[in-house]
A and B are shown apart, each in its own frame.
Chain A
Amino acid sequence: MSTNKKYWKNFQDLNPAVDPSVAKIKYREFVEQIPVDEFLSDKETLSSSATTRRDFLKFVGFSTAAASLAACEGPVIKSIPYVVQPEEIIPGVANYYATSIANGYDFASLLIKTREGRPIKVECNTLAGENGTTNARVQASVLDLYDSNRLSGPTKNGNELTWELFYKEIKQKLKGVQAEGKKIVLLTQTFASPSTSKLISDFKSKYNNVEHVVYDAISESAAADAYQFRYGRRGLANYDFSKAKTIVSFGADFLGDWQGGGFDSAYAKSRVPKDGTMSRHIQFESNMSLSGANADTRITLKPSQQKLALVRLYQNLKGDSSPISLPENLKLSVDEVTNEILAAGSDAVVLTGVQDVNAQSLVILINEFIKSRAFNPETIILTRQGDNESVNQLVKDLNSNSIGALIMAGVNPVYSLPNSSEFVKGLKKIPLSVAFAMKEDESAEVAQYVGATPHYLESWGDLEIKSGFYTLMQPTIRPLFKTQQFQEALLELNDDPRNYRDYVQWYWEANILGESNWEKALHDGVFSGSPLATLETVNKTIAPSYSLSNILSNLSLSKSSKFELTLYPKTGMGDGQQANNPWLQEFPDPLTRTTWDNYLTVSEYDAKELGLYLDPSNFFNQSSHDATGGLNGTYANINLGEVTVKAPVIVQPGQARGTVGLSFGYGRSKGLKSEMQTGVNAFPLYKNFDSAQSVNIKAVGGKHEFACVQLHNTLMGRGDIIKETTLEVFNTKSPEYWNPTPVVSLNHIETPVNSPDVDLWDEFDRSIGHHFNLSIDLNSCTGCGACVIACHAENNVPVVGKEEIRRSRDMHWLRIDRYYSSDETFEGDNTTKDDISGLGSSLSTFGKMEYPSENPQVAFQPIMCQHCNHAPCETVCPVAASSHGRQGQNHMAYNRCVGTRYCANNCPYKVRRFNWFLYNGNDEFDYHMNNDLGRMVINPDVTVRSRGVMEKCSFCIQTTQAVILKAKREGRPVAIGEFNDACACSAACSSGAMRFGDINEKESPIAKLVEDERAYYLLEHVGTKPNVVYQVKVRNNDKV
């Protein structure tokens, strides 16, 4: 059927009579003529062009052919040997140097492993004892050396200049300042360095009117003040927890960074039950801290109540009874604790982390009263010398124009001062401001001159960590950039012709070493001598009104408010100076297991009250977890006076009601990669350097995406994963009762799982040669996470970033699982689970058991590949990439792996990690493996894995093999205990929780640990026969 419809585009089209030209246009392809002639007729241009069409085609053809030919050729690899090889370097053999870290926050003596002149790993210096231990930050500090954001030379107002000019101009300006009669102020970190103190006093005598202000970003000034009030000089009393039977802490996170940290090795010693006894640890605190998590009894209370509780404790001990406004249950707890302290007598010790001179003074008095053996005021800790008053005075002085020059070194006050804006305002007024910094951080950006300083691994130096205990710092690599130490600068400004290395040696030989040898001290890295009398300390006048009654009445005045904030340093980030370190950013916090963030920790009760609680059963934005399991949070405003900080909220079990916690160290904005600019800055809330503040909390909604590596928080009553018992049961009952061997059913008869009858597999004879085992003592493991970073560094584990962590694609070979009890105790959980009857009850009860209790017990469990003798992963690999070695190690051949991931699915311990991407040299993952500098930290003995392969803990096979080879070369059997430090994790473990070794070596510690009555295997009933053995956790609930 035809149609008479006419389609038209415009009116002319409809009626061509109006404009006939339209009809013509209609038949043309283009409305206007293409100007071909115009182009072709331009013969001049055409002929003048050097490239003809044919040439063009030739080029295309040639380049295609050339490109494909070039692709066929194998790469030519060049090797460039030394022209003159240094005597001590043999390519392929590691050298170790003893040095020290002293970055103002962490102080320790270390051994540095270098390969071909590159430092690649930090290890504990065992000669230094407890001062030679490492934590996660120290382990990660080697990566800071290869930070691509480091300053490469001195700058003036952001422009580079030479050091000569730098010093010339500064000297000139200092003369000007002197002429004007204004003050020169040195604002420095705590150096704890005797030679630096001498240099500063030299500087003072050269330029009179100099003031030295020591500033710690996270202050311990109150404790130092209290010590000075009591003993007449400034310092922090030392504690030896191995001598303590009863440890009572009021808000002191001494397993964290309290008073410089480093107490965990001594603490762990007394935590392992020996001859039926172990220490008892009672923690009063607001935030859930590492110390609280390790405590036998943990009592939650507000910071303001901690002061009152201290007063109550003191009165109880003295037998006084003035009324104190404490809730009844707290009074009861304090009274019970008093009895325990009295019973323990001098074996008890009391600590406090309350940043209040009165509280700190009272603790000194209490420890003196009970004659605590663990309390050691004769030895002082020198690693926190900051003084709040002088810092506050400095900010005032800056604004009152009395300061002519400010020289900063090792500090970042613009970031870390609570009144940072006032500081910046004052800084801009003064004629000369110099910052000595490694990076262009917040403070360096504001200062006129920036002196680029070297990393501690490129520096000389000395330390007096504790009075009379000295360590030396020596460079382990030539400076990577045109940097000079602050001390070098002081020598230059003092017109001292010596270099700092010679200065240190001169100072040591004159004042410290006595008859001893400098070379030996440098080799060992440590030296024990007599304390220096000339130590530079802040002179302060002692308040005459100071007395016991004042202390007590001041403390009793403490009033609680609705919300009290406790600011704390996170284990992985400390004061924030290492924020550009991807290892630390990706380090899961031991408690929240969250990475790449800080957050406001709120109790579940308060979260619900304030509308900050996300229910898991809700949908979409309001759910606590998204579809992939990623943890969500909402935001809250923290209000303190004029300061408001908006932070994401995490619900923290064990957080005291009416308290919130926020960690320092995040929210950095300058001198670091954009990926590392995470979290919020808590320092503006750090008013008067008091970590406890009364704040207002308000929900502001929104959704924050956390990158949390552990989404399930409770054990659901599965007591066989973390076996634990109490000291009483441990002492009175047989191991069969508290550490039973799991049984399985064989012909309806319960048979122990280690019986050969129930084994699916043939047993191999492993008695010949080495058989490696790792023992992990759940009693001494504090969960600090040094092992996690040590493993990261040793095994070239990639950093994957926040997004990937949120997708549960973290690559840590070693993780420390943290479990909360959903009942008051884990034992309660076990009972609850055992009492379940019927389907209905099991559903509802298990549902409830997913949630932790308000003040739960906490347990840490480091988990790495268990190296099962009957490994489920090995049987499912289609290409035999995973196989077992005779020495007990489960081998993973990366080059064989095709990435089916069957092994990970079949692993009951979930320890295998899959490389979803190529993490090195990939711009999508702009962390250390993406630049030449950062790649210098890579361990050349371990393969850098590529995309699509599985990886996992290897029991550091590169090191066990190296130990064996060394013995073979020397033609001797492996010495007893030589394998102990072969694994990076066990070598880094300062608490001695991890012990590695050969169980066929009958005399070695590991052989005994495997036979220990506390030893058990993880998921033993599965029959995997792991080579990692755990030691039952024993809690000391023995109240007196």
Chain B
Amino acid sequence: MFQHNMQKFSLTLLWLIFTLFFSSLTHAQDDDPIKGKALFNANCAACHQLDKKMTGPALRNVETRLYEDEGLDREWLYAWIRNSSALIKSGDDYANRIYNEYNGAAMTAYPQFSDQDISNILAYTAQEKVTPPAVATVATTQTSSNEDGFSKMLVLSALAVLFTLLALGLFLVNQTLRRFANKNDIEVKKAVKGPSLWKAFVKNQFLMLVTAIIFLLSSAYFVYGYLMQIGIDQGYEPIQPIHYSHRIHSGDNGIDCKYCHSSARVSKHSGIPSLNVCMNCHKSIYEVAESTATEEYSKEFYDGEIQKLYNAVGWDDENQRYTGKTKPVKWIRIHNLPDFAYFNHSQHVSVAGIECQTCHGPVEEMEIMYQHSPLTMGWCINCHRETNVKVEDNGYYEKIHKALSEKYGVDKLTAAQMGGLECGKCHY
């Protein structure tokens, strides 16, 4: 019974695939969906998606839909795409309806499209949606790591058994030897116990003193080391309320740091971007590409994080509008300077022209942002000692740099020679 059903099912499936293949073949005879995709991405994608309403309607199977629902043919689509406003003005019923549905936002006219171009685009929109098989990457990585641990355990336990057997063997050999000795009346000499090493050590006051000193010094060394790392959060990598990946934004997409952290140019703060900055792009980027997903983080995961952004900024993606209900994001601050240290981003970014990465590390590779540098005073001072002041094309430095470099007899002044080591420059 079961088998019979299976057979029937696979037959149907086969037939279905065949018909699908055939039908797409018939279309492909004149219209090229690959060319259509390129055109679509270049011209339409800013406002349209295939399966999602954006500024304009979703376009999957638009031709069939129009024909079935409204009885409109391809000619109507040509007219609409080439000049929608003319069509609206002409009093076309559906043109006006759709115009009003999208809040009177007129579609850009594309008179340069040939019939073939439009057909290609329509061919692209007529393609079936491909759902990728869900990959259980996370699960696989987990098992592999488990396997790894298991094998280690196996080796270790084997070793343990081996050593136990060895110890047992030795003990048995020893006993056998003793027995032989007893039988042959050989007296086993008992080892003469001299004063033990430990007692000798305890009695030697000089050695004791030296050991004590060494012990104290080394413990002081470790205690000092421990105390000095308190408050240094190098490598601090907290879990943020929204999983924002610098790797994707600044690494893969090459967005300039200062596009989002714009106040770094003019202010002491680099500034955490306000959510409206995110929405500049994420208004149209509501999901990540398949290729963005990694083994560790799936596409669904990233899409979920984008949803978190929409939730925080109050963006209703369905209806493409702001609801006004905002939930400001409570980011966890990673780089914390103490209150008594003054640091100004603009001095370093705009005036000195230092790359963000100099202090913040390879941010473009960071999936999760972490503190790269120790942010200690020694670290600051070191850089000030080694870095030359960037004087080129800066009228401020002209006079002072010339005078000071003459005074110190150098060509290039370091920040330290410019006065960058004075206490009051950072502590006030």
Interface residues of chain A, those whose CB is within 8 Å of chain B, are: 74, 76-85, 90-93, 765, 767-769, 881, 883, 885-887, 889, 891-896, 941-944, 954, 957-958, 961, 964-965, 967-969, 971-974
Contact = CB atoms under 8 A, between A and B. Distances in A.
B329 A81 contact: yes
B344 interface: yes
Given A92-B267, A944-B339, A965-B344, A893 B427 contact: yes
Nearest to A883: B423
A83 B428 contact: no
B339 A943 contact: yes
The 9 closest A-B pairs by CB, nearest first: A891-B424, A92-B267, A85-B274, A82-B274, A92-B269, A81-B272, A893-B423, A92-B268, A77-B333
Given A768-B403, A895-B427, A943-B428, A80 B328 contact: yes
Max chain A CB contacts within 10 Å: which of B326, B330, B346, B396?
A: B396
B332 A941 contact: no
B263 A74 contact: no
B271 interface: yes
Contact of B427 (A76, A81, A92, A894): A894
Interface string B251-294: 00000000000010011110111111100000000000000000
B400 interface: yes
A142 B428 CA distance: 23
Given A82-B276, A968-B397, 18 more contacts: A81-B272, A82-B274, A83-B328, A84-B275, A84-B326, A91-B271, A768-B407, A885-B422, A885-B423, A889-B424, A891-B423, A893-B340, A893-B427, A894-B427, A957-B428, A961-B428, A965-B344, A972-B396
B301 interface: no
Nearest to A86: B274
Given A90-B263, A891-B427, A893-B423, A85 B276 contact: yes
A860 to B, nearest CB: 28
Given A765-B407, A972-B396, A83 B276 contact: yes
Nearest to B377: A895
Interface string B323-341: 0001011111100101111
A91 B333 CA distance: 15
A972 B395 contact: yes
23 contacts: A76-B238, A79-B332, A79-B333, A80-B329, A80-B331, A82-B275, A83-B275, A85-B274, A85-B276, A93-B266, A765-B407, A769-B419, A883-B423, A886-B419, A886-B422, A891-B428, A893-B427, A941-B342, A968-B397, A969-B266, A969-B346, A971-B395, A973-B399
A90 B267 contact: yes
B4 to A, nearest CB: 61
Contacts of A887: 419
A967 B398 CA distance: 12
B257 to A, nearest CB: 16
A93 B427 CA distance: 19
Contacts of A961: 425, 428
A768 B407 CA distance: 9
Interface in B292-349: 312-314, 326, 328-333, 336, 338-342, 344, 346-347
B396 A973 contact: yes
Interface in B390-419: 393-400, 403-404, 407, 419
B47 interface: no
Contacts of A82: 274-276, 328
Contacts of A958: 342, 428
Contact of A81 (B267, B328, B398): B328
Nearest to A949: B340
Contacts of A964: 396
B127 interface: no
Categorize the interface residue count of chain B. Answer: 35 or more
B269 to A, nearest CB: 4
A894 B340 contact: yes
Contact of B330 (A80, A892, A942): A80
Interface of B: 231, 233, 238, 263, 266-269, 271-277, 312-314, 326, 328-333, 336, 338-342, 344, 346-347, 350-351, 393-400, 403-404, 407, 419, 422-425, 427-428
Contacts of B428: 891-892, 941-943, 954, 957-958, 961
A957 B425 CA distance: 8
Given A91-B269, A769-B404, A895 B340 contact: yes
Contacts of A74: 231, 233
Contacts of A944: 339
Contacts of B351: 965, 968-969
Contacts of B231: 74
Contacts of A972: 395-396
Contact of A943 (B276, B313, B427): B427
Contacts of A769: 400, 403-404, 419
A887 B427 CA distance: 15
B191 to A, nearest CB: 49
A93 B346 CA distance: 11
Contacts of B267: 90-93
Contacts of B313: 83
Nearest to B276: A84
A708 B291 CA distance: 75
Nearest to A940: B268
B312 A83 contact: yes
Contacts of B399: 973
Nearest to B330: A78
A943 B342 CA distance: 9
Contact of B273 (A77, A81, A883): A81
Contacts of A971: 393-396
Contacts of A79: 272, 330-333
Given A79-B331, A885-B425, A965-B346, A895 B396 contact: no
Contact of B396 (A93, A896, A967): A967
B310 to A, nearest CB: 12
A84 B322 CA distance: 12
Max chain A CB contacts within 10 Å: which of B274, B332, B393, B400?
A: B274
A84 B274 CA distance: 6
Nearest to A955: B424
Contacts of A896: 423, 427
Nearest to A81: B272
Contacts of A886: 419, 422
A880 to B, nearest CB: 8
Nearest to A886: B419
A889 B277 CA distance: 41
Contact of A883 (B275, B312, B340, B422): B422
Contact of B347 (A85, A881, A892, A968): A968
A597 B394 CA distance: 54
A944 B428 CA distance: 9
A67 B88 CA distance: 72
A965 B231 CA distance: 29
Nearest to B404: A768
Contacts of A80: 328-331
A1010 B326 CA distance: 58
Contacts of A968: 347, 351, 394, 396-397
Contacts of A973: 395-396, 398-399
A885 B425 CA distance: 8
B340 A92 contact: no
B384 to A, nearest CB: 14
Contacts of B271: 81, 90-92
B423 A77 contact: no
A208 B267 CA distance: 56
Contacts of B326: 83-84
A541 to B, nearest CB: 60
Given A77-B332, A885-B424, A83 B274 contact: yes
A85 B274 CA distance: 6
B344 to A, nearest CB: 6
Nearest to B313: A83
A972 B399 CA distance: 11
A75 to B, nearest CB: 9
A366 to B, nearest CB: 54
